[in-house]
A and B are shown apart, each in its own frame.
Chain A
Amino acid sequence: MSALLSAELLKLRTTRTFAALAGVAVGISLLITVLVGILTEPTQDEVLRDVFANDVSFLFILILAIVGITGEWRHRTITSSLLAAPDRVRFLAAKTLAFAAAGVFLSLLISLSVGAIGLAIMTIRDLPTPELSEWLALVGRSAAVATLLGAFGVCVGALVRNQVVAVVGVLASGFVVEVTLLGLVPDVGRFGPVLALPGGINNIDDDPELLAPGVAALAMLGWITVTYVAGALLLRRRDLD
């Protein structure tokens, strides 16, 4: 398994897609932090949420993971991958773990960048900074969200192998379907895997519409398990012709 995982991580490192999207994610997070840090004057209660909670890694790792696995179909590299390692379930597991790991990396990179810049701006402007324990908890939760969404994205891509359909479908289900359900049927909407559950895991404001972090994480694991099993079954049955 470690050989497969190493190979999947090598795939990530040897194209420009990951570096480019990660760069954009870091850039957007830093831009928001700088703008909010300069243009607002947050109180002690607001500073963690407003200035330091700008990690957009969850969205980017989700897209990267979908692109990563659907790209195997698009470029037909899945054939050479499965010739080298024919166990399709293990192949999918390795890819899932690789993008979970990539999610942790990207989230920590953004959290540390945002933390450093946010702290510098707040200190220079003589404004309050968050407690270290609060910030560390935020970093941990953001990393957990990115990890879970990285894994979820791979599983989605295993089910829907058309890259455009998979990416657009996931974004639409998150930003249209989940948002609508949260408004109309919150008891259902709060179980949405793209926005609602990640929001629950990272629930800084204790929003009552969202699930508690632990429950949300468990529900997210449920989504991953179901989509992984379905994706693995589909992958095993598919002919690579």
Chain B
Amino acid sequence: MTTAIEIHGVSKRFGKVQAVDDLSFEVGAGRVTGFLGPNGAGKSTTLRMLLGLVGPDAGGGTFEGKRYEELPHPSAHVGAVLEDASFHPGRSGRNHLRVLAALGRHPAGRVDEVLAEVGLTDAAGRRVKGYSMGMRQRLAIAAALLGDPDVLILDEPTNGLDPPGIRWVRDLLRSQAARGRAVLVSSHLLSEVAQSVDDVVVIAHGKLRGSGPLEQVLGGSDGPVTQVRSAEDERLAGLLRDRGLTVDAAGSGALLVRGAPPELVGSVAAEHSVALVELVAAARSLEEAFFELTEVPA
């Protein structure tokens, strides 16, 4: 896998808040990487440091070894959509892109091409203040595509989009990766990106919680999970813990036993004559694994 983006030991503090703490990860070319974490986890700050908009206290990010500012033609190499993509309200969508094309030294003809690509041709002459949230998001994506970049960075790109818009973004991510581009997409909602990402980087409180292929990171590393219910749940929990198993309350009086199949839990209960009311294999969802990694209660 060719590494397109490398973040190494990056840290940033805002006053008393450690927004990002010694974060390192890589993003491969031709893959969609989900950058996941709850709100306030440090995702946007990390992306802004990668793009040279925020100065890191330590570490940094590079694109094929070069910092964003060092790239000879940055917007032709990296296209970015940031969470608060903003526009002059009195400028038309087309003129917004014309300005960015001039700044980035892209051919003026690209403006109409990307407008067509994001489905904004008909609205291109209207002033941006009349655009819906979804249209603004499409315009921001058009701006990112202006330079036909090798790397796409999208910060919460589905915010404000309706279901067809979300599907459109998913298809866009996959099509860009299929063309060999590296796509890094941040989201606080796993469900919005789970269908379209190959890899994930999970952070919480500014720290890395896991990175790698989606199933490897969020598929669970603690083996099978069993849900068990008994009239003597406290005694049973103690017996299972004595066997070195992790036991959590699953609500409604049930216990969630991690690292043990139902057969093992059942045999422990039988061995100590504990009557069971329920004994089932519990499937842990990606969402649950994500919440565990990020320490957000499910």
Contacts and interface: CB of A to CB of B under 8 A. Distances in A.
Do these two chains interact? yes
Interface string B69-108: 1000011000010101111111110010011101111000
Contact of B53 (A7, A82, A87): A82
B89 A75 contact: yes
Interface stretch (A14-22, A45-53, A221-229): A14-22
A83 B85 CA distance: 11
Interface residues of A, number: 27
B86 A80 contact: yes
Contacts of A79: 53, 82, 84-86
A183 interface: no
A174 interface: no
Contacts of B86: 75-77, 79-80
A153 B158 CA distance: 39
A3 B45 CA distance: 29
B87 A77 contact: yes
B54 interface: yes
Contacts of B98: 10, 14
A237 B52 CA distance: 11
Nearest to A17: B90
Contacts of B45: 241
A80 B85 contact: yes
B55 A237 contact: yes
A159 to B, nearest CB: 19
Nearest to B82: A79
A75 B51 contact: no
A75 B53 contact: no
13 contacts: A10-B95, A10-B99, A11-B88, A15-B88, A77-B86, A77-B88, A80-B143, A82-B52, A83-B80, A84-B74, A84-B75, A241-B48, A241-B53
Interface of A: 3-4, 6-7, 10-11, 14-17, 71, 75-77, 79-87, 237, 239-241
